[in-house]
Chains A and B, each alone.
Chain A
Amino acid sequence: MSEGRLSPFHGLWALTNRELKKWYKEPVILLLSLVQPILWIGIFGKAMNFASMFKSASIEIPGLTVPKQIIDEIGSLVLKQTFGTTDYFSFLAVGMLSFIVLFTSMSSGMTIVWDRRLGFLGKLLTTPVPRGSIIVSKVIASIIKSLVQATIILLIGVLLGLRFSFGLFAPMAFVITYLSLFLLSFGFSSLFLMLALRSTRWETQMAIMNLLNMPLLFSSNSFYPISSMPWWLKPIALANPLTYANAISRWALLGITPQVSVILSMLYLVAFAAIFTTLGITLSWRYLSL
């Protein structure tokens, strides 16, 4: 029998909690998903050592001796101009935060496919829990997972030599970084859940993920700055929300001046999150059925 009026949010936390339980009860999967970004920072970040290019001794061209000091100075200037910092490792490590957020958020779509395949979704749809809550709970769980994973990556980055150079008051820097990652995860989780609303095959979902993850990553400023991209890639990078999350994080944590102002970048992420969440919830009312 119904017990009075139901709050529109009833069951939301119970569903979120279910997603999280399934996640932290399987630490192996959690650790496996960290392997890729750790390899990127640990191997790529360490080996792609741009600074070492200029760490040679003095150069002697016949008739001209360039002292080491000047080479170092030029190196720093070039690096600074290209990456906004002389420390490529830190540049990459902070870029990996959005990488892990993207990958974790993408997999949120899979959970809905599994729920459908295993009959759980069918059961959910017969309870009075709002359709929107089914999606929103998955988005919230996905955000929490993403931010926890990002924190782990950040800690590992620090262990491997990430050096902060805060662009503002340190605690605020973290708040702003997490806010940008939060918005990024919000938007991507909603987007990939939306794509999975009607999907019955996890293979399709995997294919979508594989199709989109690398292009999204490489068309952003995660590995290299926009300024060094070919002209045709720049507009794509500027449309890519990863670019803005990276720019904000690098500004806050590394003091790198962003190409687009931080406020505009943040607004872009807010719009990204708001549009896809609204779309996701609206479509779930319409299309989330057996």
Chain B
Amino acid sequence: MNEPVIKVSGLTKIYPGGVLAVDHISFEVHEGEIFALLGPNGAGKSTTIGMLTTSLRPTEGEAIIAGYSINREPSKVRSVIGVVPQEFSADEDLTGWENIMLIGYLYGLPKDTVKKRAAELLQTVGLYNVKDKKVETYSGGMRRRLEIAMGLINRPRVLFLDEPTLGLDVQTRAAIWEYILKLKKDYNMTIFLTTHYLEEADAYGDRVAIIDRGKILVIGKPDELKRNVTWDTLFIEVSGSYDSAKQALSILPQVKEVSFVNGQIVIKVADGPSAIPLVVSAINSTGQEVKRLSLNRPSLDEVYMYYTGKSLREESMSKEEAFALRRTLRRARS
């Protein structure tokens, strides 16, 4: 296996005043992965990304990014990463073009290279035709796309996305993800993202780490995580006797539990999609037919609830985060 492109060990941040924001976290991210750090506001996601992108100094611990230490070689780390911060960072008084060119120069790229890449990136994110307009005239979605383009000007090996779709409406969120996936494919990057949208971590994350109160509770592929803490549920209606069907199903090794609720057989299985053909043939073997079958897969919220005892959707946010969110939303809407 390749060396991990991000290797974090014992990373800790204690803010002045003694607030323990990140508490000895360790994990690895591999080349080409989309790694999602999922957790409620105030869990330590932004602090983690702040330390990995070298804008915050860790209190303790180490992280190696593309071979460089965040403690000893921060400027080398900066040159191989791209960052799309949670808050809009583009200069509103400048045009989109001026903003992306400026960032290119800050990476020490020659003018011709910056021009070529800026044009290409703005085209990819669909902003080329408004490149000479001031950023203050951009919509929330346009700004986010500009931020992503700005984060890619140095062709980073790792792209850090801090809440890339925060404050955007559902359509824009989907569009942003389309761009992210396209760019990942085009430039073959590793993506590290933080989010508190379960659906996004689930749908786009190759692996997900759940963080709460500064600690990583569990890391794994979304499907694995779900499988480990809870079962897929199959709801089946059959043509004949439920008892014989139930008997046939009980002996299948994949089936953990069979019950009978509201005229349906409800069975818990480890992996729903792969269990369906077995379940269907077991029922057929009793001479009955499956009239209707539906599969319910758990969401990451159930995983989150399993590890933290609370639902991610109900988490409240800290004052500062609420302030930052409001500001972001205000600008996204303007």
> Which residues does A use to contact B, with CB under 8 Å?
1-3, 6-7, 10-11, 13-15, 18, 21-22, 25-26, 118-120, 122-130, 289-290
Contacts and interface: CB of A to CB of B under 8 A. Distances in A.
- The majority secondary structure among interface residues of chain B is loop
Contact of B75 (A21, A122, A130): A130
B174 interface: no
A196 B108 CA distance: 27
7 contacts: A1-B157, A10-B108, A18-B98, A22-B91, A120-B90, A122-B89, A123-B85
A126 B108 contact: no
B315 interface: no
Contact of A289 (B57, B85, B109): B57
Given A2-B80, A6-B79, A18 B94 contact: yes
A14 B55 contact: no
B85 A21 contact: no
B217 interface: no
A125 B75 CA distance: 10
A120 B91 contact: yes
Nearest to A117: B327
Interface stretch (B99-107, B177-185, B233-241): B99-107
A22 B53 contact: no
A130 B75 CA distance: 8
Interface string B93-125: 110001001110111111001000000000000
B26 to A, nearest CB: 23
Interface centre among A1, A124, A128 (most CB of B within 10 A): A128
B109 A3 contact: yes
6 tightest Cβ-Cβ pairs between the two chains A and B: A123-B89, A14-B105, A10-B108, A2-B79, A119-B87, A126-B83
B80 A3 contact: no
Contacts of A125: 54-55
B154 interface: yes
Given A18-B94, A22-B94, A289-B56, A127 B87 contact: no
A126 B54 CA distance: 7
A289 B106 contact: no
Nearest to A3: B109
Contacts of B101: 14
Contact of B106 (A3, A11, A290): A11
A128 B65 CA distance: 14
